[in-house]
A and B are shown apart, each in its own frame.
Chain A
Amino acid sequence: MKLIYVLLSVVLLGCSQQPVETEWTYEKSISLDGINPIGLVSDDDQYILSDGDHNRVVKVDYTGEITQTIGEFERPMHLDYIKDKSTQRLFIPEYGKDSIAVIEGTNKSYLSITDSLDAPASISMFKDEIAIADFYNHRVLYFSNGTWQSLGSEGKKLGQFYYPTDVQIMKNHLYIADAYNDRAQVWTKNGEPVMEIGMNDNLKAATGIHVTATELFLTDFENDRILIYDRMGDLKQIIEKGIDKPTDVIQNDDELIIANYRKGELVFYKKTAIKRKQ
């Protein structure tokens, strides 16, 4: 009988301490010998990195060892990678060449763009849509329904950009790292700016953005931080441990991976449940 009481107490205590939310906690850093990563995408259990300083794109394993050099490119930037049963295509903005390289198997081609780019810093693919952060033109080029639109102009107001460096297309919106306005912007696919994020968070050079179903991650390059927001733009968490001049961030299941540009590292954070007493 006593045992039943004990078990019941444990069960009740457990029920009163339900995990109600999660946070990201530092897990480890791995060194990338001779790589200064800018763009980062995952490929199964490996990572594809653009190494801007060395004009190349490489694939590394979980220890940071280079397993493949994908090719030489002129200052490659934020990448995108499409992988399904029929296709494996890697999209590489060549900042120094004003073009977007497409690697499919051993073939290299270039994306056909009707407008001219001046230092493309990022590309995002979503179904038949394409978005490119066009750094020196202070705009985002967005392709949908067979036509290109130029979004934004140079400036500081909502709807204007100052050196955009990263972009991601989601189901309903585009998310843009408006680097030297120190914020992120959210646009509709009709070309309407609807939200700015991070305006009060003292960011210095928001160079990379990554968006999931529930969170938005923004790299704070000069301050060595990643700021984590919910999809409404409310700040949830700031992570700093191990982060040094971050340029890109991705989430892979319950793991967050950050590219440290200057030190040449990948930093891993783990999603952890927070238990709160009621």
Chain B
Amino acid sequence: MAKEYDTVIGLEVHVELDTKTKIFCGCSTAFGAEPNTHTCPVCTGMPGSLPVLNKQVVEYAISVGLATNCRITGFSKFDRKNYFYPDNPQNYQISQLYLPICTNGFVEITGEDGNNKKIGIHEIHMEEDAGKLIHDEWEDCSYVDYNRSGVPLIEIVSEPDMRSADEVIAYLTKLRMIIQYLGASDCKLNEGSMRADVNLSVREAGSETFGTRTEMKNLNSFKAIRRAIENERERQIDIIEAGEKVIQETRRWDDNKEYSYPMRSKEDAKDYRYFPEPDLPPVVVSEQWIEEIRSRQPEFRDEKMARYIREFDIPEYDADIITSSKKMADIFEATVGEGANPKKVSNYLMGETMRLLKILEKEPEDIHFSPENLARLIKLTDDQVINSSVAKEVFEKMFEEDVNPEEYVEIHGLKQNNDVEGLKEIIKQVITENPKSVEDYHSGKEKALGFLVGQTMKATRGKANPEMIHLLLKELL
């Protein structure tokens, strides 16, 4: 009979902080620039260059630490982590090993059993990101772009407190929401502004000692994380069942092939020779500074939900969904701020927006229509300039390209036809052409009326006001 196994998981989560400049130099962190155009001697490791710490990075790290119940380190230092790789221009990464900025925190999730569960945070430290390697398809070489080199990161190291993929995803979702609410990062897994490495081991159910763990890298979505966890659990159980030993190693997940392989090399000694960074003085965080940052912490989800229900009079159900993402909450408030009816805004976000995100496999953070345009669209329907089916079409366009609905409706001639006399003519025509339905209506079949409304809409190419058609049809019949 097969043994039962428990899975033990800890995460190392890297989050790119949303600062304007890099951690140690005044280069822009903006995405999408031409290769190496956001670089300087510091972030390309030129001889004689020296790092100077971006204060905002420390403040973001502290604010994430406070929001995850961490102890903030009063006297914190940077260390050098030495390893050779071309994406790392100095061949050492400035990071924190011995005295990280935050330690000993936790976040609460809903555990496997449905009860609240604390996931411990061992530490949060600050470090610099690496550059990007681009591989040449044709020639035997790669290219380095240092635009991302020196972009600030925090690494959030959890305790090995998770026991399943569900818990891992609950933890990541919670962490992401906290950081998004803080405005410290957009935390997009697919774009790499949030990256999770999974440390996983298995042990016989009930055992108190940990098994040998592996570290899994290259997980770019929740789906990949789930698959990789399940795959790695099975792989380790197979090894143990075969009487062999799990090797402690780093593995790379290939989500297309749904398997992982070891990232081993005899040139990779894994001996990082950490030592205190002599070019950076320590960071001293006073109680006063902590209090200043605490007082600037934004409204978190629970407070926001309560306020939405109170202030905007929307149902709890709506508030819950809208506040599940900082981005959605921001759009909601901004759109309401433009004068739109809160419930109508909420309907758009919970309905069409969620539907389209799901179809396109996107996250709320990917929304790029503006609150102004959503407010305009709602106003167009309120004023009966367009009908609801046109509104749906315009919204889809807005979701794709953030078009201005007023202009779009104008250009594409989508205004609702409110010309009563003209409409009457069309309806008369429809009545003449559909004697069977007219007869059915008169014999009490209400459905027939719907058919006639539809025919009229078709004849007006969707531009007529359906309520008006309804009234006029009844009158003319």
Are A and B part of the same complex? no
**Interface of B toward A, CB cutoff 8 Å:** none
Chain A interface (Cβ < 8 Å from any Cβ of B) = none
